[in-house]
Structure 1
Amino acid sequence: MAVALAHQQGLRQGFALRLSVSLLALPAAELEAHLAALAAANPLLVLARPRAGRWSGQGASDRLEAMAAEAQPSLIAHVMQELHGLLARDGPEARLVLALIGELEPTGWLGRAPGEIARELGESAETAEAVLRKVQRMASPAGLFARSLGECLALQLEEEGALDPQMRAVLGNLGELETGGPRALARRAGIGEEVLAACLARLRRLDPKPGARFQDDPVPMRPPDAVVALGPEGPELAFGQEAQPRVRVAALPPGPRSPEMAAALKEARAVCQALELRQGALREVIAALVSMQKDYFRDGRAALRPLRLADIAAATGFHASTVSRVLNGFLIEGPQGIVAARDLLCGAVSKSGSGCSSARVGARIAEILRREDPAAPVSDTRLAELLAAEGIEVSRRMAARYRARSGFASAASRRLRA
C-alpha cells in the first residue's frame, strides 16, 4: 500500500512539474487559450477571463489583420520549436544552444561570437563552433545564426547546393565591392567580370536578413503585460492584473467522490499551483530586467546596458532556460512605448571593458550619420575612429555592421545619392 501511495504521489508531482514547465514555455498571448483548453477538459477547473476586451475599439479589418499577424510566430518561438530536440537533451550542448538562441538578433544573425558565449558557460570554443554549425544546419530558413552577411548567404547557397569555389571567392571578398566596385572584386576573387555578374545576380535573390520575416511580438495586437512609469526613485513596475487570466477550483459538495472526480480535483489544483508558480517566476524575472535596464526607461534605447539571460538568471536564481521562457512574448509599456521584454537583452560590443551595449553603439552611429555632410559622408573607418574617441572600441568591420543594421547604406552609396 505504501509503495502504491508513493507511486501515485510521484505521478502527481511529475504531472505538476510538467505542467509548470509547459505554462512557463507559453508566451503571454497564448496562455489564456491553453488554460481554456485545460478548463474545457476538466469540469472542476474554472477559468476567469480577463475583464478588458482584447479587441475593444477595433474594426473588422483591424481584427483580421491582427489575427493574421498572430498566426506568424516570433523568431525566438520558431527556433525554440525547431531546435526542441537539442534543447530537450540537457547538458552542455543544450546550454550552448539556448545561449545561442538568446543572442539572436531580429535579422536572424548571431549577436556575439560563439567563443565568448562558450567561455561564459565554461565550454571550449571548439565545442561552441561545432554546436553552432549543427544549429545552422537544423534551423530554417537557411541563414539563421550567421555571424556575417557572407556566412548568411553561404548557408543559403550551401542548402541549394550552389556554394562552388567561385561563389566562395566572391563571398570571401565582398568588402571589395564597396571600396573598389565590381572590377576590384573580380580581380580579388580571381574570376572574370561576366562570371562575377552571374554570381552577384544569384546573391541578390537570397535573403540577407532571414529573421526579419518573423513576427517580433505583435505589439499592436494586445495590451501590454506590464507597465513601467518613472517615479521619484526610478522605474515603477505594475503588472496588468486585469488582463491576466486566472483559474480556480470549483467548489464541491461534501461527501464521497468517484475516482474520476478525485483525479480531476488533483489536476485542477495542480493547474492552479503551476499558474501561481509561473506568475511568481514572471514577476521576479521582469522586476530584475526592469531594474537592470532602468536607464532605458528614462533615456531610451541608447542607454541600454549589456545584459544577457545569464545575468538575469544569476540575479533571480532561476535557470537561464526558465528566464528565456518567461521573457517569451512578454510586452512592457513604458515612457518609450511598448517593447518586447526580449528586446531589453543586449550584448556588449567588445571586450574592452567599457560596458557599452550594441544598442548604444547603433544609436550613436545613427546619430553621427544623420548629422553628416551629404557631400562628404562618414566612412566606416572614420566611424570606428569617432567611436574610439568616445571610449567605444569597435573595428571597422563592426562599425559597418552596426551602420547597416541602423538602415544606412555604405559611404559610397550615400555619396552617389547626394
Structure 2
Amino acid sequence: MALSAKLQLRQSQSLVMTPQLMQSIRLLQMTHLELARFIDEEFEKNPLLERQPTDADTGDFLQPSELLPEDAGLDKIFASDDASAETMAERLDASMENVFPDDPGMADQRAPDLAAQWKPSASSNLPSAEAFNIEDFAASRVTLYEHVREQIAFSFTDPLDRAIAYALGDAIDETGYLSTEIADISYRLGVNEAHVLKVLGICQTFDPEGIFARDLSECLAIQLKARDRLDPAMQAMLAHLDLLARRDFSQLKRLCGVDSDDLLSMLAEIRTLDPKPGLAFSTSGAEPITPDVLVQPAADGTWTVEINPETLPRILVNNEYFNEVSQYVKNTQERDFLSECLQNANWLTRSLDQRVRTILKVATEIVRQQDAFLAHGVRHLRPLTLRTVADAIGMHESTVSRVTANKYMMTPRGVFELRYFFSVALASAEGGEAHASEAVRDHIRKLVDAEEPLEVLSDDTIVLMLKEAGIDVARRTVAKYREKMNIPSSVQRRREKRAALSLRPR
C-alpha cells in the first residue's frame, strides 16, 4: 500500500462554550448572597455599572432596559461549525481577559481621593451618621484559642509549664476537646507524660467548664466537679454512658446504687451540662435564609408566584456616562477599554434578567405541580422529577437542576428549598396515583408518634398499616426512611418507653 499525504476538507459541528456563557451558567446556581458578592466585584471593575434605584427612591423597582427574548435561554445552545464559532467569538469578544479584567491598580487610584475626602480641616464637619456602618467598628468575637491563651498567660509562671500549656491549647479542637494524645505532646516537647498531665489538670479548670477533656465522660466530669456534684453514683453513670444512650435505666440503677427518684435527678443534672463547651466561641454564624420566591394565595383560588424583591439584582448600564467619556478618548487602548466595559455591562444585565425569569418559570411550574401540597399539607405532596419540570417549561434538565440548587421558596406552609418538592414515586396499593417519598416519611413519623408504650409498631406492622392507607412500600424502605428520620428500631423504642414508665413517679 502506497502512503501519500493529501488535503481533505471536512465540516464538523461542536458545542462552543464561551467564557461569558459559562459565567451565565454559574449565575444560575448562585445563591442571592453569592450573587450580591459577585455584583459588588463587577461594580469595582466596571465604571459603567451603577446601582438601580429602589422603591425608596422611585416607589418601585426599575425594569431592565434590555431583556432577552423568550427563546434565548441557556438551554437553547446550538452546535455550530468552526467558522461560525470563530465569528461568534469575534462578535462577543468573549476572552478570559474580557470576562475577568484585572486592574490591580484600582485601589491605589482611589486611595488619594479617599485621603483627600477625610483630610481634617478647620472648616470641615464630621460625616453624617449615615456615612458610618456600626458593624465596621464592632470588635471581632474572641476565639476559643485566644480565650485559652489569655488564661494560660495568667495561670503559669514557669516557662516550661507555660510552653506545655500552649502546646495543649494548640491541640484542642473547636468543640474544646483535646485532639492530640498526651504521649505525642510529651514526645514532641521532650518532657515526661506525668508533667504534661499535671499541666493538663490545671488547664481543665479554665473557662468554659469542660474544655481540655479527652472524651465526653471526662468533659461532663469536669463540669460536675466544678459544681461539686461529682459523687460516686455520678462517676458510675459517667463510666457507663453507653447504657444511658441505650436507655437501660434498670442496669444504671443497679450500677449506681440509686433508686428511680435519684436516677431521675441525676439525669436532670446531666441534661444541664454542655457536651461541646468550645462551640460557645464559634465564630461561624449561620446565615439567615432569605427566600428567593414568594408564593401567596390569590383571590381567585390560585397562587401568586413572584420573585422576592430583596433578592433582585439592582444594576443599570450608565450609557450617558459612556457617551460622555467617549468624547475624550485619546487612543485605541482607551477606546477598547470602554467598549469592553460596555459589552460586559450589557452582558451582565441580560444574564441577570434571564436568571430571574428562569427562576420564576421553574418556581411557577413547581407551584402548579404541587398545588395540593400548598392547599392541604405534606400528605398531598406529589412525586416530581427534574425532567417533568424541564419538559413542561421547555428547558433542559440540567438548567432546572442549577436553578433549584440552594434556592428557597416561601409558602403559606413555611420556607422550603426548591429541591424539597422533588421526590421519587412510591406505588399505590390500589393501583392509583403514586405517593411522594416525603409524604410517606411523614406518614411513618405520625404512626410512630401515636404508638402506645406497650404497643410499639414493628417495621412489618408499619408496612401493613401503610398498605391499608393505600401505600405499597417494602419493609426495607420503611427501615431506610425510619433511619433517615433518626427514629430508633421497635426494640429500642420499646425499651425507652418502658424505662420512661418505670421512672415515672407514682
TM-score grouping bracket, smaller chain normalisation: 0.5 to 0.7
Specify the alignment match of 1:223 in structure 2: 290
Percent identity between the two aligned chains: 26
What is the CA-CA distance between 1:410 and the residue it aligns to?
Answer: 0.9
Is the Cα contact below 8 Å between 1:224 and 1:338 reproduced in 2? yes
- Point out the structure with the larger helix share: 1
The alignment status of 1:39 with 2:53, answered yes or no, reads no
In the superposition, relative to structure 1, how do residues 326 and 50 fare at CA in structure 2: closer, same or farther (>3 Å)?
farther
Pick from 389, 402, 406 the counterpart of residue 485 of structure 2: 406
Candidates 237, 260, 263, aligned match of 2:305: 237
Report what 1:116 is aligned to: none
Is 1:29–1:329's contact at 8 Å kept on the other side of the alignment? Answer: no
Looking at structure 2, the residues matched to 268 and 36 of structure 1 have their Cα atoms a distance apart, in angstroms, of: 13
CA–CA separation in structure 1 for the residues paired with 2:30 and 2:290: 17
Cα distance, 1:64–1:49 mapped onto 2, change above 3 Å: farther
Alpha-carbon distance, 1:378 to partner: 0.7
- What residue is the counterpart of 2:418 in the other structure? 341
Deviation for aligned residue 1:312: 0.9
2:409 — aligned with what?
332
Separation in structure 1 between the aligned mates of residue 409 and residue 43 of structure 2, nearest angstrom: 28
The structure with more radius of gyration: 2
Partner Cα distance (2:361, 2:376) in 1: 24
Return 5+ residue gaps in structure 1 as ranges.
1-11, 53-58, 66-217
Give the Cα separation in 1 of the matches to 2:43 and 2:379. Answer: 44
User: How much does 1:407 deviate?
Assistant: 3.3
Counterpart CA distance in 1 for 2:303 and 2:453 is 40
Residue 230 of structure 1, CA deviation:
2.2
Using the TM superposition, give the Cα deviation of residue 408 of structure 1 relative to its aligned residue in structure 2, in angstroms: 2.0
Provide the rounded CA distance (Å) in 1 between the counterparts of 2:477 and 2:452: 22
Is the Cα–Cα contact under 8 Å of residues 313 and 352 in structure 2 kept in the other structure?
no
Give me the whole-angstrom Cα distance separating, in 1, the residues matched to 2:139 and 2:491. Answer: 43
Number of the residue aligned with 1:17: 21
Q: Which of 440, 444, 450 is 1:361 aligned to?
A: 440
Q: Do the aligned residues in 2 keep the contact of 1:362 with 1:405 (CA within 8 Å)?
A: no
Distance in 1 (alpha carbons) for counterparts of 2:362 and 2:457: 41
Kindly state the Cα deviation for residue 386 of structure 1 after the two structures are TM-superposed.
0.9
What corresponds to 2:459 in structure 1? 380
Q: CA deviation at 1:244?
A: 1.4
Matched-pair contact (CA < 8 Å) for 2:307–2:356: no
Q: Which structure 2 segments of 5+ residues have no match? A: 1-15, 57-133, 141-285, 330-334, 498-506
C-alpha offsets along residues 267-313 of structure 1, whole Å, 9 cap, x if unaligned? 11111111111111111111111111122222222221111111111
1:179-258 to structure 2, matched below 5 A, reads: 221-231=288-298, 232-250=300-318, 251=320, 252-253=322-323, 255-256=326-327, 258=335
The CA deviation string for residues 97-132 of structure 1, in whole angstroms up to 9 with x for no partner, is xxxxxxxxxxxxxxxxxxxxxxxxxxxxxxxxxxxx
Deviation at 1:243, TM superposition (A): 3.5
State the secondary structure of the residue aligned to 2:472. coil
Q: CA RMSD in A?
A: 3.0
Query: How far, CA to CA, are the matches of 1:345 and 1:13 in structure 2?
Result: 29
Task: Name 1:196's counterpart in structure 2.
Answer: none
Q: Is the 8 A contact 2:386 2:401 kept in 1?
A: yes
CA contact (8 A) 1:50 1:245 kept: no
Q: Give the alignment's TM-score, normalised by structure 1.
A: 0.54
- Distance, in Å, in 1 between the alignment partners of 2:54 and 2:446 is 42
Q: Distance in 2 between matches of 1:311 and 1:284?
A: 13
C-alpha distance after superposition, 1:177-230 (max 9, x if no partner): xxxxxxxxxxxxxxxxxxxxxxxxxxxxxxxxxxxxxxxxx7x71432222112
Deviation (angstroms), 1:399: 1.2
Are the structure 2 counterparts of residues 309 and 14 from structure 1 closer, same or farther at C-alpha, using a change threshold of 3 Å? same
Query: By how many angstroms is 1:47 displaced?
Result: 3.5
Once residues 64 and 413 of structure 1 are traced to their aligned partners in structure 2, the CA distance between those partners, rounded to angstroms, is: 49
User: 1:316/1:45 Cα in 2 relative to 1: closer, same or farther (>3 Å)?
Assistant: same
Question: Which one scores higher on RCO, CA 8 angstroms, separation ≥ 6?
Answer: 1
> 1:25 Cα deviation (Å)?
2.6
Task: Report the CA distance shift for 1:363/1:50 in structure 2 as closer, same or farther (over 3 A).
Answer: farther
Cα distance, 1:51 vs. partner?
A: 7.2
What does residue 27 of structure 1 align with?
31
Matched to 1:253, the amino acid is N
Is the contact between residue 32 and residue 311 of structure 2 (CA under 8 Å) also seen in structure 1? no
State how many pairs are aligned.
247
Q: SS of 2:337's equivalent?
A: helix
